[in-house]
Amino acid sequence: MTADQHAGSIWTMAGTGLLLSAVLPGLLLAARGRLPWDGAARRLSPPPGAALSGFVLAHAAVTLAESFLAPGTVARSAMYAVLVAAGLAFWLPVLGPGRRLSDAGRCLYLFVAAPLLDVPVVATLARGHAAGGLAMIVGMLPVGLAAAALTWRWVTAEERGRQREESAPVPARARAAHVAEP
């Protein structure tokens, strides 16, 4: 691999990581409720387990193909198109209008995904492509950051809810306790 190819590979891996972990979720957040495809996304959104599995497998296939096969331009373009589609399906249970997970589910989903997405990069590192592997890991860091941010948001919302319950007048607390008891 020439120095130019090596540098290009590093930028490709970092850019792909950022596209999948920052740009796609940013676009979903920006477009939420504004696009006509929201209805289609609700109907076509895969179950969270399938979305996570599909994305992890597509990411592994593309990462390993880049490391071991050096595909041509057409094959590489097709691989990345599949990877971006899998990335979109991956983010729909977290941010999309369809089968959206609960707050706890979204946190667990992202905390499970973050290390799984780094597993195929180990093969890249083992092949001696340390810079490219590290670039991919750094590019995928927003997944972990999103998990931490969603966890913080969930915990603070729970705490605010608990404080509202505790500061409610006694009759409201008694009604809430009465409803909660079996």
Q: Give the E-state strand segments of 64-107 in sequence order.
A: none
- DSSP code of 47? P
| 33 Ramachandran zone, left/alpha/beta (phi>0; psi -120 to 50) | left
Looking up tokens 């409803």 gives: 179
Q: What is the pLDDT of residues 29-41, one digit of tens each?
A: 888 777 666 676 6
Q: What is the pLDDT of residues 53-101, one digit of tens each?
A: 999 999 988 888 877 777 778 888 898 899 999 999 999 899 877 667 8
Specify the pLDDT at position 45: 80
The answer, yes or no, to whether residue 4 has pLDDT greater than 50, is no
Contact indicator for 84, 20 with CB cutoff of 8 Å: yes
Higher pLDDT, 126 or 158: 158
Give the Cβ contact number of residue 138 at 10 Å: 14
Distance CA 71, CA 65 (A): 7
How many residues in the chain?
182
- Can you tell me the mean pLDDT for 15-20? 83
| Closest among 18, 19, 16, 14 to 132, alpha carbons compared | 14
Give the Cβ contact number of residue 78 at 10 Å: 12
> pLDDT band at residue 7, thresholds of 50, 70 and 90?
very low
Higher pLDDT, 26 or 40: 26
Compute CA distances 113 → 45, 87, 116, 181, whole Å.
18, 12, 5, 37
Structure tokens at 132: 């490219």
What number of CA atoms fall less than 13 Å from residue 41's CA on the CB side? 23
The H or E element containing residue 42 is: helix 38-44
The answer, yes or no, to whether residue 180 has pLDDT greater than 90, is no
The answer, yes or no, to whether residue 3 has pLDDT greater than 50, is no
pTM of the model: 0.76
Contact indicator for 9, 1 with CB cutoff of 8 Å: yes
Q: What is the pLDDT of residues 92-136, one digit of tens each?
A: 899 877 667 898 999 999 999 988 988 887 877 787 777 777 777
